[in-house]
């Protein structure tokens, strides 16, 4: 099955700086890579996603890049704000059939210091 690794496990940045979180995956058949933000005790919220036919996607201060050859993808947050503090999870899935599961990374706890 798929194995997703995520680094770093914790990340502290000063407000206004950039944050980068990296994930690698093992299954070359995976073709969908979402990123979720989860605040303590709350639901994971989708913040951005990318499909394997795209190398980069951007939404305001958030961007995701995908390198299919190297099997890794990264989340970039620019101009960080204290409200960006949360746990971020990457995930991978392959649409081999409907309803297939997400394989999550182990999460990155991001702290933005005011």
Partner 1 sequence: AAGVIQSPRHLIKEKRETATLKCYPIPRHDTVYWYQQGPGQDPQFLISFYEKMQSDKGSIPDRFSAQQFSDYHSELNMSSLELGDSALYFCASGTGFTDTQYFGPGTRLTVL
Q: Minimum CB separation from partner 1 for residue 113, in Å?
A: 21
Contacts with 42 (C-beta within 8 Å, 6 or more apart), sequence order: none
Per-residue x/- track, 71-100, partner 1 (CB under 8 A) = ------------------x---x-x-xxxx
Among 48, 64, 66, 105, binds partner 1 (CB under 8 A): 105
Among 19, 35, 104, 110, binds partner 1 (CB under 8 A): 104
Q: Which is nearer to partner 1, 25 or 36 (CB)?
A: 36
Name the pairing type of β-strands 86-92 and 108-113: antiparallel
Structure tokens at 88: 């971020």
Q: Does the footprint of partner 1 cover residue 28 (CB under 8 A)?
A: no
55: DSSP letter: S
8 Å CB contact between 107 and 47: no
Q: How many residues does the chain have?
A: 114
């Amino acid at each position: 099955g798929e194995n997703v690794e995520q680094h770093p496990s914790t990340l502290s940045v000063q407000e206004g700086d950039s944050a980068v979180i990296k994930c690698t995956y093992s299954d070359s058949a995976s073709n969908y890579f979402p990123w979720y933000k989860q605040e303590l005790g709350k639901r994971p919220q989708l913040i951005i996603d990318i499909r394997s036919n795209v190398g980069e996607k951007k939404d305001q201060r958030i961007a995701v890049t995908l390198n299919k050859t190297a099997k890794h993808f990264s989340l970039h947050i620019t101009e960080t704000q204290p409200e960006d503090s949360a746990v971020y999870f990457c995930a991978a899935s392959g649409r081999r059939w409907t309803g297939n599961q997400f394989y999550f990374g182990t999460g990155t706890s991001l702290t933005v210091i005011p």
